Amino acid sequence: MKKFAIAYNKKIENSADVMKELRDTLENHNAEPVLLDIDNLEDGFDFVFVIGGDGTILKAARFYAKYSTPIFGVNLGRLGFLSQCARDDIKTSVEKILGGHYRVEDRVMLQSGNRLALNDFVVKGTSTGRTSKFSLKINNKPLCDYLADGIIISTPTGSTAYGLSAGGPVISPSLGAFVIVPICPHTLTARPIVIPDDEVITVSTGCSDVNYVASTDGQEFYEFKSEINIQKSEYTAKLALLEGVGFYSILKDKLHWGTSPAVI
């Protein structure tokens, strides 16, 4: 018998109610899940259900990547791009998962030091409202300088998040690539660039006396000086996906990709 856990975000409305519904459904199928607060996660499980929005799932993904534990999202957020299951689908989804009708997809992650990101690293200056200068190196070779509000270094998973809003492309999760997107650059020649995921990205500030800020998945923030190195992590996020559900169908259904404007 597999060891299941349910991680949920107590700060999200209805999260506790959905947790109880999911717990009861699992218990009705002779599974006894352990209940976890998203802010106090534990290892030692074969499969983890995560209740919340994409932010909750990102936090769980970073934690459980180090243990190679599959996670499955039950969406309580607005978009829920990383989750497939709504509250109305809990019973059906549990039956499929317990019946083995799912696959686990490895999603590449970024790493800088001991910090992980499934979606992206974002680098900005600490002076709100002011642009900053960023020098970009790939494999320690200078590529370009940006005068911009910041730089997004995104995985394919994160290409549908902040990077897309900043004008970056959508990248299929099956591709081994990273996307570098400048935020509001002050030159028309500064455009997003896609690179192989085995290359090392260095962002230099050129100002050792000024602090810059980096964030992981928009959740963990820390300051640094001079430069930061970002590269492919040895860990991968394990996302459980139900059979018959693929990236392009999610892109179409949740982002309404290519849908014509409604006729008024």
Active site residues: 54
Closest CA to 63 of 11, 125, 7: 7
Closest CA to 158 of 140, 141, 177, 139: 177
Alpha-carbon gap, residue 156 to 164, rounded angstroms: 11
Closest CA to 209 of 125, 143, 140: 125
Are 27 and 54 a contacting pair, CB within 8 Å? no
